[in-house]
Amino acid sequence: MNREQLAVYFIMGSGNTAGRDPLAVLGSALRGGVTCFQLREKGPGALKGEPLADFAAGCRDLCRQYGVPFIVNDDLELAVATGADGLHIGQEDGNAAEIRRRIGNRMILGVSAHDVNEAAAARSAGADYLGMGPVYGTRSKPDARAASGTELITSAKSAYPDLPIVGIGGIREDNAAPVIEAGASGVSVISAIAHAGDPERAARELRQAVREALEPGKVSK
Ligand code: 3NM
């Protein structure tokens, strides 16, 4: 995976779209220019079994149409069964080095990290990128830790400059720039796109905000 693919990293499960068809929301997000997608099927009413496999296949097919990596959260079997491009795991989802051995080097491995020690461990386990947060307050993860601001991105970036980081937690178009300025390659969002009245437009605006922050002065409005 290249760093540019982390710029606007959309995360969604079937329960995140405020009653709208999740595949329609994903299609809009892709049209708007998200650069990566993670299927994160969690919480009450989460799909399981065949409905989950069908939904995952639908997400994968849409991502393929747009040439966007399709990543599965925390479900190695589903990731392998759907031919996902990658797997993302949290600190509680198993041993990252062991998972890397099981998926091999061709699959992307993302790991959530909340401090520099977790970043170091994820790096030596073979993570391709880190998700670090919550940067701002979030309502999308009931068990999220307290918001940390951009500090933890700054410190992980200075310790491991080559390891790509995406910030997560409460990020929107109007607060994305500090996350990039702290050293992140991109931003991960659920609600900024999945809850937006117009997900395509929200994705486009977020992409523009990230581009401007990555290359100040180079992007025409
Ligand atoms: N992980 P929103 S915060 C899935 O801090 C997730 O590890 C987090 O959703 C972490 O963009 C979070 O709606 C939720 O705030 C992000």
CATH architecture of 3-213: Alpha-Beta Barrel (3.20)
What end-to-end distance do the CA atoms of the chain give, in Å? 28
- Please give the Cα distance from 167 to 171 (Å, whole number): 8
Query: In the structure encoding, which two tokens stand for residue 98, read together?
Result: 């062991």
What does the domain layout of the chain look like in residue ranges?
3-213
**Per-residue pLDDT at 12:** 98
Would residue 40 show up in a list of annotated catalytic residues for this protein?
Answer: yes
Largest CA distance in the chain: 48
Instruction: Assess whether the previous peptide bond of 134 is cis (omega < 30° from 0).
Output: yes
Position 217 scores a pLDDT of 74
At 20 the pLDDT is 97
Per-residue pLDDT of the chain (221 residues), as tens digits, is 899 999 999 999 999 999 999 999 999 999 999 999 999 999 989 999 999 999 999 999 999 999 999 999 999 999 999 999 999 999 998 899 999 999 999 999 999 999 999 999 999 999 999 999 999 999 999 999 999 999 999 999 999 999 999 999 999 999 999 999 999 999 999 999 999 999 999 999 999 999 999 998 775 54
Q: How far is the CA of 143 from the centre of ligand 1 (A)?
A: 10
pLDDT of residue 220: 54
Which is the catalytic residue, given 14, 28, 112, 188?
112
Identify whether the C-beta of residue 200 lies closer than 8 Å to the C-beta of residue 26: no
E strand or H helix that includes residue 177: helix 177-181
Q: Which residue has a Cα nearest atom 7 of ligand 1?
A: 133
For the full predicted model, state whether its pTM sits above 0.95: yes
Q: Hey, what are 208's tokens?
A: 């523009």
In the three-class reduction of DSSP (H, G, I as helix; E, B as strand; rest coil), residue 131 is classed as strand
